[in-house]
Structure 1
Amino acid sequence: MKRILTAVSIMLFITAGMVSNATAAEALKIGIVDLFRALNESEAGKKAKTDLEILIKSKQTAIDEKGKKLETLKGELEKQTAIISAEARKVKEEELERLARDFQRVVADSQAEVKKKEGELTGGIVKNLRDVINKIAQEEGYSLILERAEGLVLYSAKPLDITDRVIKKHNEPKTGKK
């Protein structure tokens, strides 16, 4: 009899736990945001992308000029190898090495500058997007908002995706700010 009473008690305890978990799950409101898409489709994100493309083009122009100069000198050296003295060839080879190092430095510096500028341009936008997401979550009673691009979400129903609302709210003019 004691065993039956214990078994019934355990079953009641488990059943009560399941009921409370089901109630908690119903109260859970989940949203999904594609932060990458929000960044690329927001007005501020589009402007940042344009600014970054302008910087990349200017850096690419400088890199192309250095590359052409390097190739020209290399071609001259190859053509003149048989007709110039060893000393003149050595001077040209040293100049070629110097230009090659300068070219590599320009490429590395350009990449670093573009990466830094990208961080500067997008960092503030991402922070603002996160603020908008937090505001939407609080206003609409979300318990959890997941980021789609991080690989955490393998599938979600379309109604869970709030990315369009985040973009719209982020694009709204900010009142009270200069």
Structure 2
Amino acid sequence: MKSQFALKVSSTIQGLARGNRALVLAAVLGLGAAIATPVQAQGTKIGFVSTERILRDSKPAKAAQAKIEAEFKGRDQELQNLANKLRSQAQKFDKDAPVLSESDRIKRQRQLAELDSDLQRKRREFQEDFNRRRNEEFSHIVEKADAAIKKIAEQQGYDLIIQDAVTVSPRVDITDQVMKALGG
């Protein structure tokens, strides 16, 4: 059952619809603006947090990055050594190729191809492991940041906190407060 107001609006829109669609659109937009105005007049408090800055500049993020780099340093060095070995063997092959027999040339080409395949596989595995480990560490930071954001929102009376927007006024940016709550 429609209210009297809804019935009047409905009949007015239907009457206008017969005459002019542009007027109908204007009436609907005007009605929407009239309804939305009281909500905006109440003074909604909005904040913004840059997740990117938190994951790049906060103390926990820097500590996690250092921990992961230390963890993978040995494997990274192994990959660099393997790449250097492949490069030196390829240079040696290029130098020796004119004097090698056909069978020796084919044999060394296969060895180089196997070494290159092994290097590519190890790089792929390294990158997958590194990304997985990084995501594990940074997901903990995001959880802590979310908890800090909720706490700040409750303490300071925020109605809405947005993460990662295209453009933001510095007066609503609370990223520094979140980083401080995370320990720096």
Structure-1 residue corresponding to 2:163: 147
Which residue of the other structure, out of 55, 61, 70, is the alignment partner of 2:86? 70
* CA-to-aligned-CA distance 1:9-68 (integer Å, 9 cap, x gap): x9xxx79x74x6444223311001111112223221110121233345444322221111
| Structure 2 residue 139 is the aligned partner of structure 1 residue 127 | no
SS at structure 1 position matched to 2:99: coil
Out of 34, 51, 61, which is 2:50 matched to? 34
Does the alignment pair 1:166 with 2:182? no
The secondary structure found in structure 1 opposite 2:162 is strand
Q: Find the aligned partners of 2:95 and 2:122 in 1 and give their Cα distance.
A: 27
The residue aligned with 2:102 is: 86
Unaligned runs of 5+ in 1: 1-5, 173-178
**SS of equivalent to 1:31:** strand
Runs of 4+ in 1 over 4 A off after TM superposition: none
RMSD, matched Cα: 2.5
Which secondary structure does the structure 1 equivalent of 2:98 belong to?
coil
SS of the aligned residue for 1:171 comes to coil
Specify which of 63, 88, 95 is matched with residue 47 of structure 1: 63
Report the TM-score when normalising by structure 1.
0.76
- Structure 2 counterpart of 1:127, which letter? E
Rounded to whole Å, the distance in 2 between the matches of 1:136 and 1:90 is 67
What is the TM-score with the length of structure 2 in the denominator?
0.74
Instruction: Give 1:125 deviation, angstroms.
Output: 0.5
Shift of 1:153: 3.9
In structure 1, the partner of 2:118 is 102
Give the fraction of aligned pairs with identical amino acids, expressed as a percent: 26
| Secondary structure in 2 matching 1:81 | helix
Report deviation, 1:129: 0.4
Equivalent residue, structure 2, for 1:24: 39
